[in-house]
């Protein structure tokens, strides 16, 4: 890359209280979605593991 191709960092203005509240709510929604997916995956793995062990006990 050439030196002139580097973009300069622009200063980030502080958010107003209303903008900050909206940003916080969006962050909470994103975190809740991640937590929901994580919990759903954990329950699915547990169900699959229990089915696997149940199958092993029947065949053994």
State the pLDDT at residue 21.
97
State the pLDDT at residue 1.
58
* Residue-range domain boundaries for the chain: 14-59
List the chain pLDDT tens, one digit each, 60 residues.
576 677 777 888 999 999 999 999 999 999 999 999 999 999 999 999 999 999 999 886
How far apart CA 36 and CA 44 sit, in angstroms, is 12
How far apart CA 38 and CA 42 sit, in angstroms, is 6
How far apart CA 31 and CA 50 sit, in angstroms, is 29
Residues 47 and 39: beta-carbon distance below 8 Å: no
State the pLDDT at residue 42.
98
State the pLDDT at residue 60.
63
State the pLDDT at residue 5.
72
């Amino acid at each position: 890359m050439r030196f002139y191709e580097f973009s300069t960092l622009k200063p980030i203005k502080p958010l107003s209280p209303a903008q900050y509240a909206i940003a916080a709510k969006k962050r909470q929604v994103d975190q809740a979605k991640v937590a929901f997916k994580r919990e759903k995956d954990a329950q699915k793995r547990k169900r699959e593991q229990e089915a696997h062990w149940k199958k092993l006990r029947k065949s053994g």
